[in-house]
A and B are shown apart, each in its own frame.
Chain A
Amino acid sequence: MSAQHERLRMMLTAALFAAIIGIFAQITIPLPFVPITGQTLAVGLAATILGSRYGALSALLYMLVGAVGVPVFSGMSAGMSIIFGPTGGYIISFVLSAFFIGWYIEKTKATVPQAFSANLIGMVINLAFGTVWLKIFAELSWMEALAAGFLPFIIGGIIKAFLAAWIGIEVRKRLASARLLPQPTKNRTA
């Protein structure tokens, strides 16, 4: 298979993953106290499965598709108003956290514990960036911003990081055995 075909195939996969993130953003797994929204889970999964480059691409595509008006953000919302709004930092930093998660997993042996720590740090990046954005946009103090934008999401975030690591590594194994993921861990040539 040529490098060009490989590149096109991975880009298309990232595009489809972006669509999946958009669908999952509408789904909430109803757990007591901490409902798990599918959005961050799907971003973590995309990064764990696709790696840094294409994981970040799928997060970027998700953001752009939402920006042009397809209701893929949580609660069927869409538009530049969400991105340039007070909660836009969370969506923008998905690109960063996806890149980091993918990069971390590429640097390690892609086991579940390693993917879990990658996703945990990714979650912290996401929440931190989102909180700083919220603080600046809403002109809040640091304590207020933390209380509104960081602390309530920690427990759900840990559960999601674990799920993304566990399911993501599982999917990678299946793809590798079906020869759909060409170079299982060192995906540097694409």
Chain B
Amino acid sequence: MMEKMIFGRYLPLQSVVHRLDPRAKLLFIFGFVIVVFLANNALSYGLLAVFTLVFIYLSKINVRFLLAGLKPVIWLIAFTFLLHIFLTREGDLLFEAGFLKVYEGGVRQGAFISLRFLLLIFVTSLLTLTTSPISITDGLESLLKPFKKLKLPVHELALMMSISLRFIPTLMDETDKIMKAQMARGADFSSGPIKERVKAVVPLLIPLFVSAFKRAEELAVAMEARGYKGGEGRTKYRLLHWQGRDTAALIILVVLAALLWWTRS
């Protein structure tokens, strides 16, 4: 669990998609999320599906990992599909059993919306599977730079994200330690009446939050002792390089949008 927390879902492989600049990938994803909603008939959905499959093939990511990403939403997709099948009353009647009536329009609608979910999940999963959390953070920081003019503390936000990332394993360790310490004192988290179980959580949470405050104070002092004074004039250790293939990826997206515009009804 610890390992999974640190590296996220990133799978370090060698592929074109992995080598793309994180900024290009982020822009691509945001564009794709909008473009997906252009599709509204079989031809345009087919085009989107083919495009997504090519993208997956290029990334060399095992489909198994993409399917794992579906787990948290699969029931919802199924639920939506069924709702549309049974409740949309359009087109020809396909099937009837008692009060259940399935219309052609419902099947089509349900299939399209489920497909849209699937494609969105696949493409956005590809981002986190082919890019490490730290480089996505760098990419986000770089893309959001224009917002600095609006007084949005972009650099600090990115720094706090990486600190949050860095401290997840540490705080997980600490939670575990406090839990065991309280269990040794007789706390019982998993049995007994509800009131007792809820009460058992209190001595777990209080030390955890109080120690987070102490740790933040220590960190702030340590950072300032090393000369940290906000984002002004700070240089970067990891630099991003925009290359031809990054521009190409965005051009492909524009072409896809144009094709969808042309094929949609």
- The answer to whether B80 has its CB under 8 Å from any CB of chain A is yes
| A18 in the interface (beta carbon within 8 A) | yes
Stretch in contact with the other chain, from B39-47, B216-224, B248-256: B216-224
Residues of B within 8 A of A71 (CB): 4-5, 8-9
> Is residue B236 within 8 Å, beta carbon to beta carbon, of the partner chain?
no
Interface residues of B in 177-210 (CB under 8 A from A): 189-190, 194, 197-198, 201-202, 205-206, 208-210
- Contact size class for A? 35 or more
CB pair A69–B224 under 8 Å, yes or no, is: no
User: Distance in Å from the Cβ of B220 to the closest Cβ of chain A?
Assistant: 4
Cα(A144)–Cα(B82), bound, Å: 12
Please name all residues of chain B whose beta carbon is closer than 8 Å to the beta carbon of A14 when the two chains form the complex.
160
Bound complex: CA A172 to CA B75 (Å): 40
Cβ contacts under 8 Å, A163 to chain B: 198, 201
Within 8 A of B (CB), among A70-93: 70-82, 84-87
Q: Chain A residues near B1: list those with CB within 8 A.
A: 76
Check A167–B202 contact: CB distance below 8 A. Answer: yes
Interface residue? A118 (CB, 8 A)? no
Interfacial residues of chain A within 14-72, with CB under 8 A of chain B in the complex: 14-20, 22-23, 29-32, 45, 49, 57, 60-62, 64-65, 67-72
Q: Using a Cβ–Cβ cut-off of 8 Å, how many residues does chain B contribute to the interface with A?
A: 71
Least Cβ–Cβ distance between B19 and chain A, in angstroms: 17
Binding site for A on B (CB under 8 A): 1, 4-5, 8-10, 29, 33, 69, 71-73, 76, 79-80, 83-84, 87, 109, 113, 117, 120-121, 124-125, 127-129, 131-133, 136-137, 140, 156-157, 160-161, 163-165, 167-168, 171-172, 175, 189-190, 194, 197-198, 201-202, 205-206, 208-210, 212-217, 219-220, 223-224, 228-230
Pairs of residues from A and B, 3 with the lowest C-beta to C-beta distance, nearest first: A69-B128, A81-B124, A69-B8
Footprint of B on A, CB under 8 Å?
A: 4-5, 8-20, 22-23, 29-32, 45, 49, 57, 60-62, 64-65, 67-82, 84-87, 138-141, 144, 148, 159, 163, 166-167, 170-171, 174-175, 178, 180-181
